[in-house]
A = this chain, B = another copy of it.
Amino acid sequence: MSNHTQTWIALARAHTHLLTGVEAGLKAAGLPPLAWYDVLWELEQSPDPMRPKDLEPRLLLPQYGLSRLLSRIEAAGLISRQPDPADGRGHLLSLTPDGRATRAAMWPVYDAALRAGFDGLADPQLARLTRLLSQIGPADKV
């Protein structure tokens, strides 16, 4: 088995392990799934209102997936969608107070699950891992 394959398998296993832990933690706490966090976080971070199109490349979701994810989050009252005055096709997204509160409530659960999942890796190892992983995929303009 080639090196690529071994690395891929290890990566997939690690990913599943961490993801399962996080989702289980959030569910146990009665909080929304992880995907919601990413949306809420991006909106909270951004200095000016974002449109779905801006969110899409950052979340690595297909367009239709994001569209429906936003619908669900909106239905839960955590974000609002308003028409973009500057572009009739677009929508401007904004956090509601509930959305802000929910993101804040999710964070400690999320963080704890990650720490538990990374059990056994010390800080310098995590740093090395991050550097290696960052070389995979398209280079990232932040």
User: Is residue A4 within 8 Å, beta carbon to beta carbon, of the partner chain?
Assistant: yes
The main secondary structure of chain A at its interface with chain B is helix
- Known contacts A15-B15, A128-B128; is A4 also within 8 Å of B118 by CB? yes
User: Is residue A126 within 8 Å, beta carbon to beta carbon, of the partner chain?
Assistant: yes
Give Cα A42 to B72, complex, Å: 38
Give Cα A10 to B5, complex, Å: 19
Give the number of times this chain occurs in the complex, counting copies: 2
A interface, size bucket: 35 or more
Choose one: B7, B13, B130; the contact of A60 (CB below 8 Å). B13
Choose one: B5, B12, B111, B137; the contact of A111 (CB below 8 Å). B5
Within 8 A of B (CB), among A125-142: 125-130, 132-138
